[in-house]
């Protein structure tokens, strides 16, 4: 019972939060230094994080494992502190001022969950596509690049590009779509992206097929985080103004 109390007190402490921040910052600082120096990290662009980490030596990945453990501690710390804060001060008059940091925390937790989902289940593949190229998708569908459209300026600058695509299921045409930069096509959880093109000697496009299972969670987290922090900001500034008016 005593140990349980001690563990609870550890996770309830703001001092723990501070040490977790310092640990995480140190790990990321090491990572930021080592990443550009080691070629192995290039693999992170094409593989889900966990797959990449399992395939590489601990001497390269230890800081990422350390960051995951620290973030797990941080999650427990955030949840326990938020619950305690809400329970302790439920009778307070300025409930928005108490709720808004907790909304920020919820956003943070959703963002962590998003990274967890994407680190486990993301997918990325790159291919070249010409007119009438057919690419198979992991969902069992096929996508055909019906037309590539490239707009080149008189000076030779490629201004715009797009591709008309068609989806097929077991040889049956099911949907038409068009893709261009910043405007991918989504089908059954996968996105088809046109990254870049070459106009000569014949039109060819670099295509990326990707799945990001944490995207919805990251957006939800971002929304909570923004809502919480803006509310907190307005309330704090109002309180500060009221205090300075009183003092003045």
- Chain contacts with other proteins (rule: CB under 8 A): 14-15, 17-18, 21-22, 24-25, 28-29, 31-32, 35-36, 41, 44-45, 49, 114-115, 118, 122, 124, 153, 157, 159-161, 180-184, 191, 193, 195, 208-210, 212, 214-215, 218-219, 222, 225-226, 229-230, 232-233, 236-237, 240, 244
Closer to other proteins at the Cβ: 132 or 147?
147
Alpha-carbon separation of residue 160 from 51, 91, 163 (angstroms): 36, 58, 11
- The kind and range of the H/E element at 27 are helix 14-34
Closest contact distance (angstroms) between CB of 221 and other proteins is 9
Closest contact distance (angstroms) between CB of 83 and other proteins is 17
CA atoms within 13 A on the CB side of 142: 13
> What backbone phi and psi angles, to 5 degrees, belong to 90?
-70, -20
Alpha-carbon separation of residue 97 from 10, 15, 106, 233 (angstroms): 25, 22, 15, 9
| Cα dihedral 45, 51, 56, 58 sign | positive
User: Any idea what DSSP says for residue 21?
Assistant: H
Closer to other proteins at the Cβ: 3 or 167?
167
Closest contact distance (angstroms) between CB of 229 and other proteins is 5
Closer to other proteins at the Cβ: 28 or 168?
28
> What backbone phi and psi angles, to 5 degrees, belong to 201?
-75, -20
Closer to other proteins at the Cβ: 28 or 62?
28
Closer to other proteins at the Cβ: 125 or 144?
125
Closest contact distance (angstroms) between CB of 239 and other proteins is 10
Closer to other proteins at the Cβ: 144 or 229?
229
Pick from 246, 224, 227, 223: which is nearest to 235 by CA? 227
Closest contact distance (angstroms) between CB of 68 and other proteins is 14
Closest contact distance (angstroms) between CB of 159 and other proteins is 7
Q: How many CB atoms lie within 10 A of CB 68?
A: 19
């Amino acid at each position: 019972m005593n140990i349980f109390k001690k563990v609870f007190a550890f996770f309830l402490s703001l001092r723990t939060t501070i040490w977790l921040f310092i640990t995480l910052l140190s790990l990321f600082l090491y990572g930021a230094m080592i990443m550009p120096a080691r070629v192995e990290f290039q693999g992170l662009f094409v593989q889900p994080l966990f797959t990449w980490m399992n395939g590489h030596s601990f001497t390269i990945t230890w800081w990422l494992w350390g960051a995951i453990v620290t973030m797990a501690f941080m999650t427990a710390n955030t949840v326990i502190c938020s619950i305690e804060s809400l329970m302790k001060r439920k009778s307070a008059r300025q409930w928005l001022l108490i709720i808004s940091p907790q909304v920020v925390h919820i956003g943070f937790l959703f963002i962590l969950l998003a990274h967890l989902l994407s680190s486990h289940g993301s997918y990325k593949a790159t291919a070249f596509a010409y007119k009438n190229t057919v690419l198979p998708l992991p969902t069992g569908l096929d996508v055909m690049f019906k037309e590539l459209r490239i707009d080149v300026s008189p000076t030779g600058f490629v201004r715009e590009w797009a591709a008309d695509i068609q989806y097929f299921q077991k040889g049956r045409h099911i949907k038409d779509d068009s893709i261009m930069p910043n405007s991918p096509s989504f089908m059954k959880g996968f996105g088809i992206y046109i990254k870049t093109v070459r106009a000569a000697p014949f039109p060819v496009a670099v295509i990326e097929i990707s799945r990001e299972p944490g995207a919805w969670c990251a957006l939800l987290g971002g929304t909570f985080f923004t809502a919480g922090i803006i509310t907190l900001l307005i309330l704090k500034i109002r309180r500060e103004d009221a205090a300075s008016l009183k003092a003045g």
